[in-house]
A and B are shown apart, each in its own frame.
Chain A
Amino acid sequence: MSTFWSRVGWVGIAVMGATALSRVALARGESLNALWLITAAVCVYLIAYRFYSAWIAANVLAIDATRATPAERLNNGRDYVPTNRWVVFGHHFAAIAGPGPLVGPTLAAQFGYLPGTLWILIGAVLGGAVQDMVTLFLSTRRNGRSLGQMARDEIGAIGGTAALIGTFLIMIILIAVLGLVVVNAMKHSPWGTSTVAATIPIAMLVGVYMRYIRPGRVLEASLLGVILLLAAVVLGGWVDHHPLLAAWFDHEGLPLAFSVIAYGFAAAVLPVWLLLAPRDYLSTYMKLGTVLMLAIAILWLRPEIHMPAITPFIDGSGPIFGGKLFPFVFITIACGAISGFHALIASGTTPKLISSEADIRMIGYGAMLLESFVAIMAMIAATVLEPGVYFAINSPAGVVGKEALDAVNTISRWGYQVSVEQMQQLASAMGESTLFARTGGAPSLAVGMASILGTVFGKHLLALWYHFAIMFEAIFILTTLDAGTRVGRFMLQDILGHLHPKLGETSYMPSVILTSALVVAGWGYFLYIGVIDPNGGVNILWPLFGIANQMLAAIALSVATGVLIKSGKVTKAWVTGLPLLWLLAITSTAAYQKLLSEDIRVGFFAAANDLAKKLSSGLLPPEKAAVAPQLIFNQQLDAWLTLFFVVMLWVVVLDMVRMSWRYFSHQTIRPSSEVDYVASTLA
């Protein structure tokens, strides 16, 4: 292919991308085909990958394919192993992409499809993918050091500690909110609950198969597991129609929450091979398979987007979560645009597998683009629903009213038509008793996925597809829950080990039980409050998670910017510096509003004070008055937590600025911890 034709091709992609983006951005009133969103996204990714990431690789990072990577130099056949780049890409993508990019866009669709879509695209190509790639590069040049260690080595002790505490707290909040998503999906759904419950013995069976029956035969065992999972979805339908069994699996939110908490504790204490490892295999295959199937179905079906480009809720009055478009769309969609958590993966396993520095671009930048594409598909699945239906499913009862008729009236008053009969028909088609106020994003995503997949792969199977989607979401939410609790446990044991060495031993049973219980109690508390909160809990927990995740991203970008400045690349430090400034702006604004807003659906203190006033004047009905003190305490706790996150963020950024200042004024700074050049012998 000559340069000429390659240029023509790229101009063509640019024109196509610009056309698609302008269709997406300017469509008002008329309906928009989802294919425009897909086209716009793919063109943006192609151009960003081909030009921006290549420029960063060559000119900012100066990636050097002749330099031996840690995998080559330290090859021990175990954690350091030079690995084919597609295999590393697969591992890396499976590690970074969890339920986050599915839930965030679904919630942010309350602003319309446009704001979220633009942020997913722009955020990923200029922010998230850059963060992942630069962090991966820095860690590869430092023998695969973790983000916390790099922060300590390159900037100062504060950054390292902040990264450690930040990771721990994010984990707690993330698990709580994901637990809440699962609980809300299982509430009064015998089909959903029995299917999700069945995933536990299935995972254990797969675990036993891999370890004892046919040791190490991972693919065989996984295939068996996937078949059993699909059977569990079908059997769930049978359970749903069985009067006695259905009653066993039909529960309120609170008992389900306690089951999830008990499960989380068991999963953290049990050996990995029995539950966590096999579950992870199953969830990875389910994730890859379903995402692929959804992409094919969207291309085949080319569904129309029914949600308007922008809804009136950008003014902050949205039912799903309170707060204006700026900054809350950027907080709500963290995963899929920019997610600080990725920096932990990019400075964990992945750098120890890379066989050539030349692969860093594809793995770091490319995998994030793929995650961003998953977020776009979640956005499509949410916005192909009739807006009235979308709001009926996702609005908590505390906002639209407990009775179906109240909810329908409120939503219709906003201008989104929906009727009780329509919702009942939809619920029975999906095999659920009701779809009103099923907050958390999972049910609405499942309805969207079922209507897309059902149209392509069998329409009479809607209920089956719906519960397949619920199972698919639940299985990797529970994987994140298991893995997160375990990581939290290790971190806590590490900290407690300084106080009493015995507690630091990861195989010392009393310590395992103690630390697991502490971690589970931490997220269990937030999960419990989320369930008893009539406003749905998601409204509080998801923004808190977003702020925490963006704070971690800001730490990663501070490290990256600091290293770029230190190594004399001052004029190119904007590559990570600009996304950092943007994150500082959105996270600080969001935190400010969360702390000081007068709006009780935004400000934590305002909500606490309002509730306290209502409680003392006896305005609350008895069942609300009973939980009010807990809710008040929780709102105050959340406020302090938010303050803690934002203070932490500024401390790290200012520490980076202080380090840069010392560099510019020629004072001593910590030397670079980059490992010296060794020539690669891998051709």
Chain B
Amino acid sequence: MQALKQIWQRIRQLSGDDAYERYLVHYAQVHAAQPDAAMPLSRAAFFKQWQEQKWTGVKRCC
């Protein structure tokens, strides 16, 4: 069961399904403590940024 759960987690990570959750964790760890920290992005806003950034540069080969 534990193994299945881990595989599922890896699949979510690989596809970017959990990207927003990971961003929130990163935000809480790094930015939340800063005095001038802005509110974290909403899921939709974050996804927009994430997708734009994912597709700049050479991403696919032959």
Say yes or no: A98 contacts B44, CB within 8 Å.
no
B55: chain A residues within 8 A (beta carbon): 272, 276-277, 483, 486
A454 within 8 A of B: no
What mask results when residues 214 to 245 of chain A are scored 1 for a CB within 8 Å of chain B, else 0? 01111100100000000000000000000000
- By beta carbon, the residue of chain B nearest A335 is B62
Say yes or no: A344 contacts B62, CB within 8 Å.
no
What mask results when residues 20 to 62 of chain B are scored 1 for a CB within 8 Å of chain A, else 0? 1011001100100000000000011011101111111111111
Say yes or no: A483 contacts B14, CB within 8 Å.
no
Q: Which of A472-501 contact B (CB under 8 A)?
A: 479-480, 483-484, 486-487, 490
Say yes or no: B58 contacts A348, CB within 8 Å.
yes
A203 within 8 A of B: no
A219: chain B residues within 8 A (beta carbon): 11-12, 15, 17
- How many residues from A make CB contacts under 8 Å with B? 53
- Docked complex Cα distance between A342 and B59 (Å): 10
Say yes or no: B44 contacts A95, CB within 8 Å.
no
Flag the segment in A13-21, A28-36, A85-93, A443-451 that touches B: A85-93
Chain B: number of interface residues, binned into ranges? 20 to 34
- Docked complex Cα distance between A574 and B13 (Å): 38
Q: Given A277-B55, A341-B62, A348-B57, do A216 and B46 touch, yes or no (CB 8 Å)?
A: yes
Say yes or no: B17 contacts A215, CB within 8 Å.
no
- By beta carbon, the residue of chain B nearest A207 is B51
Say yes or no: B53 contacts A277, CB within 8 Å.
no
What mask results when residues 433 to 446 of chain A are scored 1 for a CB within 8 Å of chain B, else 0? 00000000000000
A339: chain B residues within 8 A (beta carbon): 61-62
Say yes or no: A79 contacts B15, CB within 8 Å.
no
A83: chain B residues within 8 A (beta carbon): 13
Partner of B27, one of A77, A210, A345, A490: A77
Give the shortest distance, in Å, between A587 (CB) and chain B (any CB): 17
Q: Given A95-B59, A342-B61, do A218 and B52 touch, yes or no (CB 8 Å)?
A: no
A210: chain B residues within 8 A (beta carbon): 47
A78: chain B residues within 8 A (beta carbon): 50, 53
A40 within 8 A of B: no
Partner of B60, one of A90, A281, A480, A506: A480
A525 within 8 A of B: no
Say yes or no: A483 contacts B62, CB within 8 Å.
no
Say yes or no: B47 contacts A216, CB within 8 Å.
yes
- By beta carbon, the residue of chain B nearest A175 is B62
A273 within 8 A of B: yes
Say yes or no: A91 contacts B54, CB within 8 Å.
no
Give the shortest distance, in Å, between B39 (CB) and chain A (any CB): 16
B60: chain A residues within 8 A (beta carbon): 95, 98, 280, 479-480, 483-484
Give the shortest distance, in Å, between B47 (CB) and chain A (any CB): 4
A178: chain B residues within 8 A (beta carbon): 62
Interface centre among A83, A216, A345, A484 (most CB of B within 10 A): A216
Give the shortest distance, in Å, between A474 (CB) and chain B (any CB): 15
Give the shortest distance, in Å, between A493 (CB) and chain B (any CB): 11
B15: chain A residues within 8 A (beta carbon): 218-219, 222, 281
Closest 5 CB pairs of A and B: A77-B26, A100-B62, A215-B44, A216-B47, A483-B60
- Since A97-B61, A273-B51, A345-B59 are in contact, a sample of 6 more A-B pairs with Cβ atoms closer than 8 Å, ordered by chain A residue number, is A78-B50, A84-B10, A344-B61, A486-B55, A490-B56, A545-B62
Interface residues of B, Cβ cutoff 8 Å to A: 10-17, 19-20, 22-23, 26-27, 30, 43-44, 46-48, 50-62
**Cross-chain pairs A/B with CB under 8 angstroms, 29 sampled:** A83-B13, A86-B10, A86-B14, A87-B13, A95-B61, A97-B61, A174-B62, A178-B62, A211-B48, A211-B51, A215-B44, A215-B47, A216-B17, A216-B44, A216-B46, A218-B17, A272-B55, A273-B48, A276-B55, A281-B15, A335-B61, A335-B62, A342-B61, A345-B61, A348-B58, A480-B62, A487-B58, A506-B56, A545-B62
